[in-house]
Amino acid sequence: MEPSLFLSHGQVRAIQREFGTPVYVYDEATLERQARQALGFPCPFGLTARFAMKALPNLTILRLLHDLGLHIDASSGYEAERAQRAGIPPEHIELTAQELPHNLASLVEAGVQFNACSLAQLTAFGERFPGASLGVRVNPGLGSGHNNRTNVGGPSSSFGIWHEYIPRVLETARALNLHITRVHTHIGSGGDPDVWTTCARLSLDAAARFPEVATLNLGGGFKVARMPGEKAANLQEIGEAVSGILRQHGESHGRQLKLEIEPGTFIVANAGALIATVMDVVDTGSGGYRFIKADAGMTDVLRPAIYGAQHPVTLVAASGEAQPAAEYLIAGHCCESGDVLTPEPGNPEGLLPRTLPGARIGDALVIGGAGAYCSAMCCKNYNSFPESAEVLLRKNGEVHLIRKRQTLDQMLANEMLL
């Protein structure tokens, strides 16, 4: 078995034969291990750990994580409804959305919890539900994403209500008799306990201005190590640091705030891999590059094209006999120059070849770290490629199909020819 992968070469070949490619594979054992780490996040006054379902909204995965004890963080009204279809109780779903959901009323009436992300959302909620309780998402003025595309806090982010506008939030709440019982913040990805501590202090400063707040939600963004040499967030260290700040706040303000966190990537990123097939091997001459052309690409893993994100890649020879190593760029199957799975780190415009065993048509490529923001966030149906199949590797070694490969008929179902 390759380092950082949960699949043996034999399992890769077997899944490639049985289900075809491209196919996502999710590992039940890794999902369970990561979920238990999140649920064990240290907290002095109570914890709710919510899975950020935008990372991987497959119904089977949602239900599995729910059964382990996780609640749900939904980012749209559609996600909240999707979670309910997976059997998640509405009261276990918290909705924090950029766009005010068209079905907000029915969701709230069913029991879904709502966080207002703007003054307009707060007003709309209050006009529909005067006297009700809700949360507000506050932008505390700090962000920690590694670039503006992953930074969801600070002045460059539109997420949440800018902290200087809290007096307007309080005024609106008084006018509509709303009870703000939860403050939600999220600053981006990271693993530094000092950054989380700073975020907690800023968030608690905001929470202190709301007399009825009983819960603080710090969001997610716990870094995972997809590539060798990367350092993952240590939830115990972060939790212990944040717990100290919560205790200090409790002593100073006489309120013991319950904590919520919303891990997504941390739970599912390394629990997923994408198996693709080598469809061609070409080169651009002595001064150019060798290319592996795969039957997957930005229709399955978009992160490299938009972030310059790095995913580990393993080549599994169809014959079982490895060939002499060479350097390759891996090109996706889309007719798009940006469909490259091996960009420079953090630079989607750059190229960085990978050293792999000699590739031949029919070999398998395993793209690791593909459990988060891959099947959920891709260029769906670009070049009319279908959505890929998804399978779950159970702890007993059995492999079960949890999403069928899309057909062309399904792709065209809503189109009408005039």
Sign of the alpha-carbon dihedral angle for 359, 363, 369, 371: positive
- DSSP letters of 222-260? B----STT-----HHHHHHHHHHHHHHHHHHHS---EEE
The amino acid sitting at 328 is Y
Coil, strand, or helix at residue 194? helix
Instruction: Tell me whether the omega of the peptide bond preceding residue 22 falls within 30 degrees of 0, making it cis.
Output: yes
Using DSSP bridges, classify how beta strands 364-367 and 272-283 pair: parallel, antiparallel or unpaired: antiparallel
Please report, for residues 54, 137, 163, 209, 413, the alpha-carbon distance to residue 184 in angstroms, rounded to integers and kept in the order given.
17, 4, 12, 13, 39
Tokens for 222?
């716990």
- Give the residue ranges of DSSP H helices in 52-103: 59-68, 77-85
Active site residues: 335
The whole-angstrom separation of Cα 375 and Cα 24 is 8
Inter-residue contact 179 to 132 (CB < 8 Å): yes
- With the CA atoms of 138, 139, 140 and 146 taken in that order, what torsion angle do they form, in degrees rounded to the nearest 10? 140
Strand partners, 115: 96, 135
Inter-residue contact 246 to 205 (CB < 8 Å): no
Please report, for residues 33, 72, 337, the alpha-carbon distance to residue 116 in angstroms, rounded to integers and kept in the order given.
32, 17, 40
Using DSSP bridges, classify how beta strands 71-74 and 47-52 pair: parallel, antiparallel or unpaired: parallel
